[in-house]
Amino acid sequence: MSVPTPKPQFPTIRVRGTPAERGRQLGQQARHQIQHNIELYRELFRHYAGWDWHRVTNYAANFRQPIADYEPRYLIELEGIAAGAGVAVEDILALNVRTEIMFAAVARQAARECTAFALLPAATADGHTLIGQNWDWHPGMRDTLIVLHAQQDSGPDYVTVVEAGLLAKMGFNAAGIGLAANALISDRDRGDAGVPFHVVLRGLLDAETMTQALAAINRRPRASSANYLVAHRDGEAFNAETAPGNYTRVYADFAVGDMIVHTNHFTASRFDLCDVGLWNGPDSPFRYTRLTHLLRSAAGGLDVARLQTALADHFNRPHSICRHPDPAAPAAEQYATIASVIIDLSAGIMWLAEGNPCEVAYRPIAGSWIG
């Protein structure tokens, strides 16, 4: 493994207040990154889906009501982001339904992301609870990422590493809940309106108990398949594979062992649909088994340093846990690990590598609620 080298840090954005206030503050502080993100997705949707931006935003408008039905505050927050960034609300909606747009356009080859884990106290050297992931996406998207610290007027404060303009990605909150996620694809993913993937992620960061976290996944019909990995600092975790629809399409696994690993394919024994992800991303099973083997071999002695090494693993490169661009693929179809996160929920600290963990040193980020 090469010696980690410095890279530009993701901008730190701090917001507080009501949903409208927080949205506007985010839009103002991350205006450049949001506008850049819109331009990148304009090209991405054109390449993968053949859709121009007018068609994209018209489609995204279909999700306004499902978002409002799920949580009215989130739509207000999105409207605030748009106002602060000086862009149309439909532009911000389009960013937040990027996954669903790909499914609507049957551009499923674009949906590849993430190797995730959760470790319970029995697996770690110090008895802490850890959760995290490598986030694999288009390399150019790295320039749109921010570290968002939110102090809410209602709900727990939270930290998330996220593309500018989106509501949430992986992160953790003051209630001790941490979140990682994986893209999944089933034959039911057709882009039908419902609660978008990234809006559910935001709902999970609002949860103050594990019961509320599971309810955030179940309470309204979802628009797309996804995997949600959730852990609590008191040493519990669950994993929920989901397909579009209501609670009947939630395949939940409640941890009774000492760890959970997940990548981009369905693993639930009762999953009865077609797993398109195995066709789209045949590297997923190998990342899953590789990380499982690496973590199992050190169970009981795992710590942040060992996780950093595991997340920098290059078995099956370039389609490895630490993913690198494939020189044989067209430029628009390159993927790489654009961020790596390890969250120590017991300590309230997130370790972040802003790029491939084999090349970039992790830095600690504490939740604002840690005294």
pLDDT band of 8, cuts 50, 70, 90: confident
> Taking a C-beta distance cutoff of 8 angstroms, is the pair 149, 162 a contact?
no
CB atoms within 10 A of CB 254: 12
Q: Is the pLDDT of residue 7 over 80?
A: no
The pTM score is 0.95
> What's the whole-number mean pLDDT along residues 348-368?
96
pLDDT at 350 over 60: yes
Residue 5 confidence (pLDDT): 57
Identify the band that residue 1 occupies on the pLDDT scale cut at 50, 70 and 90.
very low
- What average pLDDT does this structure show over 125-139? 97
Instruction: Supply the pLDDT for residue 368.
Output: 82
Q: Are 143 and 135 in contact (CB under 8 A)?
A: no
Name residues whose C-beta falls within 8 Å of residue 98's C-beta, 6 or more positions apart in sequence.
41, 166, 198
pLDDT digits (tens, 9 = 90+) for 67-116: 999 999 999 999 999 999 999 999 999 999 999 988 766 555 555 669 99
- Report the C-alpha gap between 176 and 230 in whole angstroms: 10
* pLDDT recorded at residue 277: 82
Q: Is the pLDDT confidence value at 301 over 80?
A: yes
Evaluate if residue 347 carries a pLDDT over 80: yes
Rounded mean pLDDT of the chain?
Answer: 94
pLDDT above 60 (res 3): no
Which of 158, 159, 162 is closest to 137 using CA atoms?
162
β-bridge partners, 226: 183, 242
Kindly report whether the peptide bond that precedes residue 6 is cis, defined as omega within 30 degrees of 0.
no
Average pLDDT over residues 185-207: 94
Residue 258: both structure tokens together? 């000492």
110-366: in CATH 3.60.60.10: yes
pLDDT digit string, tens, across residues 155-184: 999 999 999 999 999 999 999 999 999 999
Looking at residues 237-265, what average pLDDT do you find? 94
Longest dimension (CA), the chain: 53
pLDDT the model gives residue 4 = 54
Would the pLDDT of 338 be above 60? yes
Predicted confidence band at 255 (pLDDT cuts at 50, 70, 90)? confident
% the chain with pLDDT above 90: 83
Average pLDDT over residues 58-75: 97
% of the chain surpassing 70 pLDDT: 95
- In the structure, what pLDDT confidence band is assigned to residue 47 with cuts at 50, 70 and 90? confident
Return the pLDDT at 6.
61
Q: Give the pLDDT confidence score for residue 331 in this predicted structure.
A: 80
| Residue with token string 């960061």 | 205
